[in-house]
Amino acid sequence: MWIERRALAAELPAVASLGTRPLAETLASLGFPVDAIEARPGTEVLDVDITANRGDAMSHRGLARDLAARLQQPLAVLLPSPVAEGEPQLPVRLLARACPIYATALLTLGKGRTPEMAQAFLTALGAAPKLLPAVDASNELLHRYGHPTHAFDADRIRGAVSVRMARPGETLVTLDGVERKLSPEDLVIADEGGPIALAGVMGGEGSKVTAKTRRVLLESAWFEARTVRATAHRHGLHTDASQRFGRGADAAMVPVARDLLIHRLEDWSGATLEGAWTAGAMPPPPSTVDLPKELLTRVAGEPLHLAEAAKALKALGCTVEAEPGHLRVLPPTWRHDLTLPEDLAEEVLRLRGYEHIPAVLPPLEGPPQPLSRDYLQRQALARRLAHLGFHQTVTYGFVSPEMDAAFPGPRGEAADEDRAGRTLTNPLGLEYSILRRSLVPSLVEVAKQNLKQGQREVRLFEIAPTFRGLSRGPVETWTVALVWAGERWDADPESKAGPVMAKHLLGTLKDVLKSTNQELAIHPIEDGAFLVAEFPIQAFRTPDDRIIPAFTPHSRFPAVERDLSLVVPATLTWQAMHDAVWIALVGTVLVDVACADLYQGKNLPAGTKAWLLRLTFQAMDRTLVGAEVDAWVASALNAAESLGAQLRA
Amino acid sequence: MDHLLPPEIADADRAFPEALAACGDLDALLRLKGAYIGREGSHAARLMDLLKAAPKEQKRDLGAAINGLKNRWEEALKARQAEVEAARKATGAQLWDKSLPPPLPPRGALHPLNRLMDRLVDVFRPLGFHVEEGPEVETEAHNFDGLNIPADHPARGSADTFYLAGHPGLLLRTHTSPVQVRTLKNLAPKILEMGGIRFLAPGRVYRKDEIDPTHSPMFHQVEGMLVGHDIGMHHLKGTLEYALRALFGPTTEIRLRPSYFPFVEPGCEVDVSCPLCGAKGCRVCKGSGWVEILGAGLIHPNVLSLAGIDPAEWSGWAFGMGVERMAMMLSQTPDLRLFFENDQRFLKAMGGLD
Ligand SMILES: [Zn+2]
């Protein structure tokens, strides 16, 4: 909201001698940060941020009130001479609870124009003057005092005026020229021909003041905040008026704003007052709130005197009665946000300045809680993958339907019949419309971008939830996905770069999946250009381990290694050989079976390959002798031969 | 005694040293080994057959000769194998041009946003804070109602919040604050034995913002919450002063300014003395020496009551921090989209590893 310096000083003369920078700092320390300061002809304007709870501060007068309380300086007099009311010139009926009071006046306009000063004020705030005194004066009052008013062309009003809820099927063309279909929840001002204004939001085209207008009917009313908010929201009409009524207007301003408007029209245009009158009565005042001393002390962090609190609250317009141990506080009519003791404590601290709050670490009242295993496991996994050369990515949780169809996800569902349950009602666009069931399509996309950017090797991973659309709603599973693409590049000029092969990713998976017996699946995407793997993270869960595992003794006697050079069928798997040898040597002191060398080449018969099988034996209690080892090696060879292996000649 | 051996064996033995020397690799060596001492069809196997067939009086001498021969071959093969293996290693060593930089092991990176969130957790751990997490798909009750956000609050609208088709009450959480609601509800029954509640909730959140240099429909927040006896603004200030000094350095100052969020009362914005210029004034702090870093306040009594915690006995504070905003400020990254582009060069430079 824009605030003009001179207009602020008109409400609080003390502001005139305050520099713009100290003024902005004072406003910020009261909870009204200044986003920008701009120069205007002969003055400066400040863009002040007003929080949603402070509708009362949405004007020069409103901010001046808080500044006056802080600076302990007096405000200017608001209304020197109230207008005397008379008999209604026109019946005004209040038919809805949402409008308890409606002050009005009938005036015949003169020939005068909007004064230069008022025009300059409106222009400085970015509100173009209309050069119609009735419109400009209402607008100027709104910015200066915060209470929205309206002027109707009295000669275009048919019969009695009522404030009522709209009737089904009624419409209204608002000032912006749009025809609005009204809802029975919209509060309207109506004449005998139907609605002429959306109460507290916008006037109607049919009754608006123009250059030809001779007589005006003024409106200064109080409309319930909730009703105005709903109407503004329903019609997408967020106006200066709806923002102020919608946050709660000051009912006490109803007659005051009407009188100020009359005075302006008399001054500016030479208007003649035909009569002023009010329908309805003031809404009930806010309730009193108690502020106990203990609560104030607790919130403030140090004992504050209730007398000091009372002084602060009075400065803000509250009526305060001191009672033993607490204050009994009646908030002013403009403060709808003061309903709890905490609200009052905040006011006391705010006026005093948050810089006076002491800084104290809260004492520990119970034992600290450990980090959850799930969380720790994810952190460890991310660190391990990063140390293995993978880069952690963060991609959006939603994807396009095409991307969603591209990969089945960590649980391997082939179909995507659950997609409806993962679809957003109001996505940013189709490309961000489905909660993803797999991280892979997003990762592959990122990998492609990286290759396009000239990266020789791309190693990426992401740890994020994936979604399944169940009937009760989407279910989330923490998931890890990896992609490896490009050349395997180890930065050693003496070793050759080569394409990434599945075994490289498998090795990584084996490392990070350690204790799981999950089947390690690598998926080649786009003919193997991208190797990917994806797993739900529960799969990694390890049993609750000890800090240090139970001691396992190791042998202090020498190990004996024996090699068997075998020619085996090309189709034979290492796992089969490994298992067969272990089974054949159960009960012996075999400690390892490894393939020490692989040979595939023209020296071998077709359909075969050669493995150098290395057996390691070691006993816990003695040095092994040649003969017993020979016997075990012979058994191993028998087992190998049963799989079609032959000793190489 | 060697005269007992057949001539072809003697020939083979004579040829052995040369054949052995000719074995340049392990494969050739293994084949030579097979030919001389293999179990079947080798010279040694023939000799064993010979020994079986030999007359009794020759057996002793012949046996000794055969053993001697076999041992010699075996030892020579073993020695040669060691040579071949050593040579293989030495080849590598000789090729090393010592003027070149040594090859480094591969090195990936954590994402800078995750790294920053981890850092925040590290900072709060010594104060007894643990980590709580919640789902990204939330109910309106957790995301709005439980946080004292009025039913007609504009943030609830479909212009601001993503909703799930087919599940009218479900949405993508717009902040990490629903984790407050979940955690308070979960822990309410054992709050006394736990001696209050204190946790951080880092996570991803969603808002319906078009993608541009300062907006993203998905971003990260870290929520912090503490509940105890007699908790006031001084505890909030003390904790944040400790934490922000741990993050930005011991000379860091913090500043609280009044503000408003429906789920706290009193509420405040927290500024930190500009870590980039040492509060002297720079482009990042717009010359003011201060940067806005988070929103906070004392937990609104309604939030505690709604979760089943008596606000007359318990009180607390909460804060919420935008991770991207902080990351951009600290790194002066000019465009938010860089964090979601995931260029490896960016990740390496900005995220790296501890
Ligand atoms: Zn700075």
**B68 and B122 co-located in one domain:** no
Partner-chain contact A396 B199, CB within 8 Å? no
Express each pLDDT in A287-346 by its tens digit. 999 999 999 999 999 999 999 999 999 999 999 999 999 999 999 999 999 999 999 999
Q: Which residues of B touch A389 (CB under 8 A)?
A: 105-108
Q: Does the structure show a pLDDT above 80 at A127?
A: yes
pLDDT at site A542: 60
Partner-chain contact A474 B164, CB within 8 Å? yes
Q: Does the structure show a pLDDT above 60 at A515?
A: no
Express each pLDDT in A344-387 by its tens digit. 999 999 999 999 999 999 999 999 999 998 899 899 999 999 99
Nearest CA in chain B to A600: B27
Which of the four pLDDT bands, split at 50, 70 and 90, describes residue B154?
Answer: confident
Query: In angstroms, what separates the C-alpha of B104 from chain A's closest C-alpha?
Result: 7
Partner-chain contact B344 A226, CB within 8 Å? no
pLDDT at site B191: 95
The CA distance from A60 to A50, in Å, is: 12
**B88 and B190 co-located in one domain:** no
Domain count along chain B: 2
Mutate: best of A424, A433, A537, partner B, most B CBs <10 A: A424
Residues A344/A289, Cβ–Cβ less than 8 Å = yes
CA of B274 to the centre of ligand 1 (A): 4
One-letter-per-residue 3-state SS of B189-235: HHHHHHCCEEEEEEEEEECCCCCECCECCEEEEEEEEEEECCCCHHH
Where is A167: in which H helix or E strand? none
The CA distance from B229 to A298, in Å, is: 9
Instruction: Count helices and strands (H / E) in chain A.
Output: 17, 29
Q: Does the structure show a pLDDT above 70 at B91?
A: no
**B87 and B131 co-located in one domain:** no
**B84 and B138 co-located in one domain:** no
Q: Does B15 touch chain A (CB under 8 A)?
A: no
pLDDT at site A416: 67
Nearest CA in chain A to B135: A476
The string over B231-268, giving b where at least 16 C-beta atoms fall within 10 Å of a residue's C-beta and e elsewhere, is bbbbbbbbbbbbbbbbbbeeebebbbbbbbbbbbbbbb
For range A193-213, the mean pLDDT: 96
Q: Which residues of A touch B129 (CB under 8 A)?
A: 368
E-strand ranges in B207-253 read 218-228
E-strand ranges in A223-313 read 272-280, 289-292
The CA distance from A308 to A289, in Å, is: 17
Q: Which residues of B touch A350 (CB under 8 A)?
A: 258, 266
CA of B286 to the centre of ligand 1 (A): 7
Partner-chain contact A342 B265, CB within 8 Å? yes
pLDDT at site A493: 66
Q: Which residues of A touch B235 (CB under 8 A)?
A: 301, 360-362
Percent of chain A with pLDDT over 90: 79
Q: Does the structure show a pLDDT above 80 at A152?
A: yes
- Which residue among B41, B163, B255 sits closest to A424, beta carbon to beta carbon? B163
CATH of A373-539, one of 3.40.50.10320, 3.40.30.10, 3.40.50.1370, 3.30.930.10: 3.30.930.10
Neighbours of ion ligand 1 (CB under 5 A): B 274, 276-277, 282, 284-285
**B76 and B213 co-located in one domain:** no
CATH of A289-355, one of 3.40.630.10, 3.30.56.10, 2.60.40.420, 3.40.50.150: 3.30.56.10
**B303 and B341 co-located in one domain:** yes
pLDDT at site B161: 95
**B133 and B88 co-located in one domain:** no
Top mean-pLDDT range of A406-420, B68-82, B298-312: B298-312
pLDDT at site B40: 77
Q: Does B96 touch chain A (CB under 8 A)?
A: yes
Backbone angles phi, psi at A328, to 5 degrees: -105, 115
Which of the four pLDDT bands, split at 50, 70 and 90, describes residue B188?
Answer: very high
pLDDT at site A500: 82
Q: Of A247, A342, A230, A254, which is closest to residue A57 (Cα–Cα)? A: A247
Q: Does B277 touch chain A (CB under 8 A)?
A: no
Query: In angstroms, what separates the C-alpha of B267 from chain A's closest C-alpha?
Result: 8
Q: Does B30 touch chain A (CB under 8 A)?
A: yes
Question: CA neighbours within 13 Å on the CB side: how many for A231?
Answer: 32
The CA distance from A564 to A645, in Å, is: 10
Q: Is B167 helix (H, G, I), strand (E, B) or coil?
A: strand
Q: Which residues pair with A40 in a beta bridge?
A: A43
Q: Is A573 helix (H, G, I), strand (E, B) or coil?
A: coil
Q: Is B111 helix (H, G, I), strand (E, B) or coil?
A: coil
The CA distance from A185 to B130, in Å, is: 48
DSSP annotation of A599 reads: E
Q: What is the mean pLDDT of chain A?
A: 92
User: Given CA atoms A454, A460, A464, A467 in this order, what sign does their dihedral have?
Assistant: positive
Q: Does B344 touch chain A (CB under 8 A)?
A: yes
Q: Does B353 touch chain A (CB under 8 A)?
A: yes
Partner-chain contact A391 B348, CB within 8 Å? yes
CA of B273 to the centre of ligand 1 (A): 8
Does residue B103 sit within a domain? no
What CATH code is carried by the domain that includes residue B208? 3.30.930.10
Q: Which residues pair with B172 in a beta bridge?
A: B137
Residues A21/A10, Cβ–Cβ less than 8 Å = no
C-alpha distances in Å from residue A472, one per residue of A448, B135, B181: 36, 14, 21
Express each pLDDT in A567-597 by its tens digit. 999 999 999 999 999 999 999 999 999 998 8
CATH architecture of A92-280: 3-Layer(bba) Sandwich (3.50)
Contacts of B325 (CB under 8 A, 6+ apart): none
Express each pLDDT in A256-294 by its tens digit. 999 999 999 999 999 999 999 999 999 998 899 999 999
- Which residue among A346, A361, A603 sits closest to B266, beta carbon to beta carbon? A346
Query: In angstroms, what separates the C-alpha of B331 from chain A's closest C-alpha?
Result: 17
Q: Does the structure show a pLDDT above 70 at B94?
A: no
Q: Is A148 helix (H, G, I), strand (E, B) or coil?
A: coil
Residues A133/A269, Cβ–Cβ less than 8 Å = yes
Residues B196/B281, Cβ–Cβ less than 8 Å = no
The string over B139-149, giving b where at least 16 C-beta atoms fall within 10 Å of a residue's C-beta and e elsewhere, is bbebbbbbbbb
Partner-chain contact B339 A299, CB within 8 Å? no
**B181 and B130 co-located in one domain:** yes
For range B134-138, the mean pLDDT: 96
For residue A47, with 0-12 CB atoms within 10 Å meaning exposed, 13-18 middle and 19 or more buried, which class applies?
middle
Partner-chain contact B114 A345, CB within 8 Å? no
pLDDT at site A12: 97
Q: Which residues of A touch B95 (CB under 8 A)?
A: 494
pLDDT at site B67: 85
> Pairing mode, if any, of strands A457-470 and A391-392?
parallel
> CA triplet A39, A45, A51: central angle to 5 degrees?
145
Sheet architecture: strand order including A101-108: A150-153, A215-222, A101-108, A272-280
**B239 and B323 co-located in one domain:** yes
Q: Is B164 helix (H, G, I), strand (E, B) or coil?
A: strand
Give the class (CATH, top level) of A560-647.
alpha beta
Greater pLDDT, A620 or B53: A620
Mutate: best of A426, A455, A630, partner B, most B CBs <10 A: A426
Express each pLDDT in A393-403 by its tens digit. 999 999 999 99
Q: Does B111 touch chain A (CB under 8 A)?
A: yes
Which of the four pLDDT bands, split at 50, 70 and 90, describes residue A626?
Answer: confident
Sheet architecture: strand order including A2-4: A2-4, A43-48, A34-40
For residue A607, with 0-12 CB atoms within 10 Å meaning exposed, 13-18 middle and 19 or more buried, which class applies?
exposed
- Tell me if ipTM is over 0.90: no
- Which residue among A361, A435, A492 sits closest to B103, beta carbon to beta carbon? A492
pLDDT at site A406: 86
Where is B68: in which H helix or E strand? helix B56-95
For range B311-326, the mean pLDDT: 96
Neighbours of B354 (CB within 10 A): 9
pLDDT at site B170: 95
Q: Does the structure show a pLDDT above 90 at A504?
A: no
Rg over alpha carbons for chain A, rounded to the nearest Å, is 41
- Which residue among B105, B241, B265 sits closest to A340, beta carbon to beta carbon? B265
Partner-chain contact B351 A391, CB within 8 Å? yes
Taking the domains of chain A in order of start, what are their residue ranges? 2-71, 92-280, 289-355, 373-539, 560-647
Structure tokens of A547? 């800090």
Which of B95, B120, B147 terminates a domain? The answer is B95
Residues B21/B32, Cβ–Cβ less than 8 Å = no
Q: Which residues of A touch B172 (CB under 8 A)?
A: 397, 424
Residue in the block written with tokens 């005194």: A133
Does residue B225 sit within a domain? yes
For range A161-182, the mean pLDDT: 96
Nearest CA in chain B to A369: B130
| CATH number 3.50.50.60 given to A2-71 | no
User: Given CA atoms A617, A622, A626, A630 in this order, what sign does their dihedral have?
Assistant: negative
Residues A59/A146, Cβ–Cβ less than 8 Å = yes
For range B222-235, the mean pLDDT: 97
- Which residue among A391, A421, A493 sits closest to B109, beta carbon to beta carbon? A391
Which of the four pLDDT bands, split at 50, 70 and 90, describes residue A412?
Answer: low
Express each pLDDT in B33-82 by its tens digit. 888 888 778 888 888 888 888 888 888 888 888 888 888 888 888 888 88
Partner-chain contact A490 B103, CB within 8 Å? yes
pLDDT at site A613: 92
Neighbours of A324 (CB within 10 A): 6
**B311 and B163 co-located in one domain:** yes
Q: Which residues pair with A180 in a beta bridge?
A: A172
* Domain interval for residue B48: 2-95
Q: What is the mean pLDDT of chain B?
A: 90
Q: Which residues pair with B255 in a beta bridge?
A: B271
Question: CA neighbours within 13 Å on the CB side: how many for A93?
Answer: 10
* Shared fold status for A289-355 and A560-647: no
CA of B327 to the centre of ligand 1 (A): 15
Lowest-pLDDT range of A35-49, A330-344, A494-508, B284-298:
A494-508
Q: Does the structure show a pLDDT above 60 at A414?
A: no
Q: Phi/psi class of residue A491: alpha, beta or left (left: φ > 0; alpha: ψ in -120 to 50)?
A: left
> CA triplet A145, A148, A153: central angle to 5 degrees?
130
Query: In angstroms, what separates the C-alpha of A273 from chain B's closest C-alpha?
Result: 41
Instruction: Count helices and strands (H / E) in chain B.
Output: 13, 10
Structure tokens of A390? 């993978």
Respond yes or no on whether the N-terminal peptide bond of residue B266 is cis (omega within 30° of 0): yes
Q: Does B268 touch chain A (CB under 8 A)?
A: yes
Q: Which residues of A touch B80 (CB under 8 A)?
A: none
Does residue B184 sit within a domain? yes
Contacts of B247 (CB under 8 A, 6+ apart): B119, B120, B123
Neighbours of A201 (CB within 10 A): 28
For range A504-525, the mean pLDDT: 76
pLDDT at site A49: 95
Express each pLDDT in A89-102 by its tens digit. 999 999 999 999 99
C-alpha distances in Å from residue A627, one per residue of A157, A213, A373, A425, A557: 120, 123, 51, 77, 17
**B67 and B201 co-located in one domain:** no
Express each pLDDT in A528-566 by its tens digit. 889 999 988 875 656 566 678 788 888 999 999 998 989
**B249 and B178 co-located in one domain:** yes
Q: Is A4 helix (H, G, I), strand (E, B) or coil?
A: strand
Structure tokens of B189? 């029954």
> Pairing mode, if any, of strands B163-164 and B167-172?
antiparallel
The string over B83-99, giving b where at least 16 C-beta atoms fall within 10 Å of a residue's C-beta and e elsewhere, is ebeeeeeeeeeeeeeee
Which of B40, B65, B95 terminates a domain? The answer is B95
